[in-house]
Amino acid sequence: MKEHSNSSMEFDKKFYKLVFEYLGEEIFVADGEGKILYVNPASVKAIGLPLNKIVGRTAQELKEEGFFSVSSTMEVIKERKTVNVLQKLKDGRVVLATGVPIFCEDSDDILMIISTCKDVEAINELNKKVESQATEILRNREEIYYLRESIFNASGFISKDPLMEELKNTVAKIAPLDVSVLIQGETGVGKEVVAKSLRALSNRKNSSFVKINCGAIPENLMESELFGYDKGAFTGADKGGKVGKLEMADGGTLFLDEIGELPLALQVKLLDFLQDGTYVRVGGVNRLKVDVRVVAATNRDLDKMCREGTFRKDLFYRMNVIPVQVHPLRERKLDIEPLARYFISRFNEKYHCYKYPDDSFIKLLYSYEWPGNVREMENTIERAYIMADKDMLGEKELSWIFDQLITNPEDGISVPDVGIMPLKEAKLALEKQLVSKAYEQYHSTYKVAEVLKVDQSTVVKLLQKHKCKDIK
């Protein structure tokens, strides 16, 4: 047993000696009186004397001979605690020497002192390198942030409010992932802008972006509009057939606006496509495969619709993997000013003018609740911009528009007063303003029909009759 113990000790001595000799750091071991017991090759090189002229001498002698300016070993004996000192070596280098005392187990006498040295210049160089790398990382992060912001701005995603900054972070995270996305929020909050930002930050940024409004197309035409049809599919069909929106978006992004208006039968077919990327045209028999990312949006409560049985749960869960909620403008007031300045800048370019808002104009924008959200604010600012007689837009240019708004507190539709005119003309003007304003707010013919208490087909006819923009 004793022989085994001695063998183990010999191994430990050889092992630690080998470790110390290969360390690049200088190691200097002395007894409690400062007599040098051991130095490793790095210390021998630093002192500049042969090993046999170092071991056995005292640290004080080497100090007095000028091999180093101050001795960490002697400082430990003096202070009886760990010390850090800057040493200037004979070769001119400055090192940071650390001396550590090891006390006897049965007394407070110092058994030995272990000193190590680090080249200060090397440490400084390392610090500079680390700082340089940290600066470079910070610079790269800033460049990525500004690049991301420029992409959002180019897509019209203008925001300063923390709620929207959080949304931006979510969009930036999921954009590169080729998954379906469901964007929810009130009418006019900017759901399409979010969809375009998703596409701009994705790998499909250079491919097509195809939009279809599920609430603006009659139910009997919706299937052929989305999936296309083969020749002879139905009476009146194009003889050569028709390419659907899905096929048009191959390789790119399909934006299904107002997906809550999609009929149940088509919901099944859309879900089938989302499962494997294939579908069959109306009147066709062959399955077609396309590479399309589907982004959908709605202002309706799909969770409630699922409970009521008017929207399929499986489609909702398939689309709503990562919830994207766009908050109404009244909940993100900090976006009002940057949005206002962005719109005015666009109108300056559009109308070749230079107009600008003063503080009273911005303040009045903050005072309104904007039931129609960003879309209503944009339209209101454009109206004030066009009607303004001077370059500076103030409270006067905006307040008369607010004074003309007749607000229905139940549904939030705001319709401008038509003024005094013949009754027949007034009815037509009011009809146009009412249906167009309602569509601007809800962007869904089904929702407009529900609010105006008429058939959805009547809403479509009125929109076509009055040639309202953005109606498909």
Please state the domain extents for the chain.
2-124, 171-325, 329-465
Look at strands 414-416 and 405-407 and give their pairing: antiparallel
pLDDT at 416: 52
Fold entry, domain 2-124: Beta-Lactamase (3.30.450)
pLDDT at 421: 59
pLDDT at 56: 87
Query: 357 by DSSP, 3-state: which?
Result: strand
Q: Could you give the angle at the alpha carbon of 46 between the alpha carbons of 40 and 48, nearest 5°?
A: 100
Counted residue by residue, the chain has a size of 472
Q: What is the DSSP letter of 65?
A: T
**Best mean pLDDT range from 10-14, 76-80, 194-198, 366-370:** 194-198
d(CA 442, CA 141): 39
Percent of the chain with pLDDT over 70: 86
Does residue 258 have a pLDDT over 70?
Answer: yes
CB 192 within 8 A of CB 198: no
Structure confidence by residue, pLDDT tens digits, 144-155:
778 888 888 888
Q: Which CATH architecture has domain 329-465?
A: Orthogonal Bundle (1.10)
Does residue 472 have a pLDDT over 50?
Answer: no
pLDDT at 443: 73
Mean pLDDT, the chain, rounded, equals 83
pLDDT at 407: 45
Least confident of 96-110, 253-267, 429-443: 429-443
Task: Give the number of other CB atoms < 10 A from CB of residue 324.
Answer: 20
**Best mean pLDDT range from 143-147, 408-412, 440-444:** 143-147
d(CA 444, CA 213): 8
Tokens 């809550």 appear where?
Answer: 260
Of 453, 371, 450, nearest to 409 (Cα)? 371
pLDDT class of 302 with cuts at 50, 70, 90: very high
CB 134 within 8 A of CB 152: no
Of 339, 407, 400, nearest to 374 (Cα)? 339
Of 47, 46, 48, 29, nearest to 38 (Cα)? 29
Taking the model in full, what pTM does it have? 0.63
Long-range contacts of 176-180 (CB under 8 A, 24+ apart): 176/201, 176/202, 176/203, 178/202, 178/203, 178/293, 179/293, 179/321, 179/322, 180/274, 180/293, 180/294, 180/295, 180/296, 180/318, 180/319, 180/321
Query: 211 by DSSP, 3-state: which?
Result: strand
Q: Which CATH architecture has domain 171-325?
A: 3-Layer(aba) Sandwich (3.40)
pLDDT at 239: 63
d(CA 35, CA 29): 8
Same fold flag, 171-325 and 329-465: no
Choice between 302 and 21, residue whose per-residue pLDDT is larger = 302
Does residue 419 have a pLDDT over 60?
Answer: no
CB 50 within 8 A of CB 68: no
Look at strands 110-119 and 209-213 and give their pairing: unpaired
Phi-psi domain of 14 (left: phi exceeds 0; alpha: psi -120 through 50; beta: other):
alpha
